[in-house]
Structures are given as structure tokens and as C-alpha cells.
Amino acid sequence: MKKAKTSFFCQHCGYMSPKWLGKCPSCNGWNCFAEELVSESDSGSHADRAFDGKPMPIEEIPAEEGERTLTGIAEIDRVLGGGIVSGSAILIGGEPGIGKSTLMLQVMKNLAQNGQKVLYVSGEESAHQIKLRSNRIGAAARDLLVLVEVSLEKILEQIKKVQPAIVVIDSIQTVYSGDLMSAPGSVGQVREASSRLILSAKKNGIPVFLIGHVTKDGSIAGPKVLEHMVDTVLYFEGDSGHAYRIIRSIKNRFGPTNEIGVFEMQDKGLKEVPNPSAFFLAERPQNAPGSVVVASLEGTRPILVEIQALVSQSNLGMPRRTAIGVDYNRVSLLVAVLDKICGLHLGGSDIFINVAGGVRVEEPAVDLGVVAAMASSFLDRPVDARTVILGEVGLTGEVRAVSQMEVRVKEAARLGFSRCIVPKTSSAQLSKVANMEISAISSLKELLENLF
């Protein structure tokens, strides 16, 4: 059998070289060569690289969205936009040890117990290890098939033979194609393996989950180069130090993005957290300066989280600024606004911001809460514990409108909060929310008057 011909390509400028190079002679980039296939081997693998399609009028293409399979785990189904779409490719990224294999095994177990034949391909663990894990989470089912394999060609062959309803590849970094020389896990291998698995999924209508590892700096080949190839990208957030795990959709061709599902890692696998607001606020201190509750919208769902700030006199020439769970640049901006507009002189203070529970909130809607937490800690005066604060802050100290105000305020009311401080421009729609006092403000000065 003739070996497939491969070359090395610069991932930045496309320069081709027959051998691997450390530095690209064309764009001078370092360490940017990856191996790619340039011509087919005569092993007959051509067939699984093409759709063999013909042009057809768009009006004749069937319009239905394709079937969706419910996994039976409500948090996952919601994150996927209402179940698994047939023929879709879903990437599950996350740091090692966060629970990717556990979650997929649980999903597979549910499907298998509903009588669907599913195939779990693992290149990381032995069948015995998978069995031990499945004992822990109670995943015994006839239709849950386990295949320990790393060769791409063999995996594709088994998928063809078994015709499962769903395939999981754990993990994409362990799969390698015999056509490429480079080691498993390299950019070329990961891309080749995924593109052929995705193609096979689309052709046969079999959804495929690809598990991919990312490290803290996101440097490992894998998830990042795959994001544009797959239909849906889910990322695991949270760290092994906390019991909760958040799964977030970063990209979804079949549903909303930024939707999150919340789980707790227990000794029998991942357990859904149906009421995340209550979960994240469970350990909130009462009447402590620097603690403020905000309502962040994650996808379609409002979630209340506690923002904590600690502002203390600095002994350093350059005071420390740390932001965990919120954007660092955003915090710097808010510190400057607070200093300039409200006359709170934070210049000589160390400032630490933390979102309790280790959640990440990216929205500007939490600005006002961050400002309130810093002011509260600086002035050493607590914010009323039954108050939720919402709003975006502009550079001149104005408070700007926030989207979907009503759902956020309703969530606050549901959890027993009695007052919301909101931007004036979005307060009109809030008259309907029962048992909630609304304080509408338009500037940071008014915020401080309202709070203390």
C-alpha cells in the first residue's frame, strides 16, 4: 500500500515545505508548521473525504430542521438548544479532570437506557477503567458499546459497521490517521481526524461528540483549531477546586449561544443544579461591606451571582488590581470612573474583585454591581442584603440600559429580593413585577446616594 503524501504548511501564511521547519522562511513565524495531507493514498479512503453531492435548487431541499434527540439531562438539552441535532458535530472542550468523560458517559447511559445504540470510543482509558467509572455512575446498559481505539481508519470502520445512534470520541487528541506522520495530538492530526469524523457524521446522520482538552493557556492543539469545523462548541468552566461545573455553549448553529448548564460533581457523577441562583448565593455573608448581588443573563436564563470587592490601603508603589470572574480591563475602567466622577480616591488602594463561587460573568450589565461593591468596601459600609443592582456604566459616569430587564428582576423577586437599583432608561417596563421596589438612577452619583 502506497503511503499518502504529506507536506508541512505554515499555519499563518500557507508556506509549504516537505519537511518540518521551526521558523517560516516566508512570514518569519516560529513554530507554526503543521503536517497536512496533499495527495490521496490508494487505500480507498477517498470515498470518506467527499460528499459526492450535486447542485440542487434550494426550493427542493427538505426544510425540516432534522430530528433532535433528547439526552434526558435537562441542562444539556437546553445548552444544545433542545437536544442533539442529527448529523451534527459537537465539540466538548475543557481542562483535564473537569468531568468531560463523566458527563458524556452519563449522556450515553441515558440514551442507551432509552433503547438507542450508542458508541463510546476511548483512546485515553482502558475498557476496564471505563467500566469502573460506569459502575460509579450506574451506567450499565446493553446498548452502550465501548470501543478502545486510537486509529482513525479503524474507528470509521466500526462506526460504519455498528451504525450507532450517537458516537463519542474521547478524546480527539488521541486519534491519529495512518496517512500522516505527525504524532497524535498535533494540529495536522487533530484536524484530519476531526474533518473525517465530521464528514462521516454528516453523511450518515450520526451525531458525533468530540472531546478535546484545553490547558489553562489554551495552548494545546485541538479545540481552538476545531471551533470553526464543528456545529456546536461547548466548554466546561469551573475548576477542580469547586464542586460545581458550568457547561457553556460558545457557538451553536442550532440554538442560542452563551447558554449555560450548571452541574455539581458528586461521588456518583455530575448532578444537575436546577436552581443555580440559589446555589451561587448559598454562602453569601450578611451585611458584609464589599458584597453585592447582580443578575447576569447567561443565554436565555437569568442567574443571580454575588460580586465581592476588597479595597484596602496599599503598601506598594504600584497598587495591586486583581479581577477573578470579571474582565480585568473593565474593572480598571470602572476604578477610573469611580475615582474621577465620584471622587472616591482609589489610586492608592489594592483592589481585588471576585465573583463568588468561581463563575465568570462577561456582561457589561454587571458594571454597576462592581462599582457598588468597590464603593461599599472602600467606604466600609454594607449594601442592603435584599437589593440587586443592575446597569452598565459609561465613561462619564452615566448609567446605561440593560437588555431583558424584566426577566432579571423577576428572578430577583423569585429569590426573595425586595429592591432593584436599575438604569432609568429601562425602568419603565418594570412596573409589572410584583413585590419589588424599583429605584431608577441615571448616574453613579445617584447610585451612591441611593446606597449609603
Q: Which chain residues interact with ligand TYD by CB under 6 A?
A: 94, 96-102, 133, 136-137, 265, 267-269
**Chosen from ligand TYD, Mg ion, none, partner binding at 60 (C-beta under 5 to 8 Å by type):** none
Residue closest to Mg ion (Cβ): 101
CB nearer to ligand TYD: pick between 38 and 132: 132
As measured in angstroms, the least distance from the Cβ of 80 to Mg ion is: 20
Residue 88 within binding range of Mg ion, rule CB under 5 A: no
**Shortest distance, position 400 Cβ to Mg ion, whole Å:** 43
Residue 212's Cβ-count burial label (10 Å; 0-12, 13-18, 19+) is buried
- Which of 101, 387 has the CB closer to Mg ion? 101
Q: Give the N- to C-terminal CA distance of the chain in Å, as an integer.
A: 79
Nearest to 177 by CA among 20, 36, 388: 36
Alpha carbon separation from 53 to 49, 85, 271, 317 (Å, rounded): 12, 21, 43, 66
Q: Determine, following the binding rule CB under 5 A, whether residue 101 of this chain makes contact with Mg ion.
A: yes
Residue 413 sits at the vertex; the CA angle it makes with 410 and 416, to the nearest 5 degrees, is 155
- The smaller minimum CB distance to ligand TYD, of residues 76 and 365, is found at 76
377 binds Mg ion (CB under 5 A): no
Q: Provide the 10 A C-beta neighbour count for residue 311.
A: 25
Task: State the minimum distance, in angstroms, from the CB of residue 208 to ligand TYD.
Answer: 17
Among 413, 382, 399, smallest CA distance to 441 is for: 399
d(CA 262, CA 248) in angstroms, rounded, equals: 9
Residue 134 in contact with Mg ion, rule: CB under 5 A: no
**For residues 437 and 417, what is the distance between their CA atoms, to the nearest angstrom?**
9
Going by C-alpha positions, the residue among 188, 221, 247 that lies closest to residue 36 is 188
Looking at the Cβ atoms of 168 and 346, the one nearer to ligand TYD is 168
User: Smaller CB distance to Mg ion: residue 71 or 101?
Assistant: 101
- Cβ 234 to Mg ion, closest distance in Å? 15
Cβ nearer to ligand TYD, comparing 137 with 385 = 137
User: Which does residue 136 touch among ligand TYD, Mg ion, none (CB within 5 to 8 A, set by kind)?
Assistant: ligand TYD
Kind of pairing, strands 269-272 and 144-148? unpaired
CB of 128 to ligand TYD, least distance (A): 14
What DSSP element (H or E) covers 38? strand 33-39
For the bound state, the minimum distance from the C-beta of residue 251 to Mg ion, rounded and expressed in Å, comes to 22
Residue 99 interface partner, choices Mg ion, ligand TYD, none, CB cut-off 5-8 Å depending on type? ligand TYD
Please classify residue 46 by burial: count the beta carbons closer than 10 Å to its beta carbon, then call 0-12 exposed, 13-18 middle and 19+ buried.
Answer: exposed
106 part of the interface to Mg ion, by CB under 5 A:
no
Residues of the shown chain interacting with Mg ion in the complex, contacts defined by CB under 5 A: 101
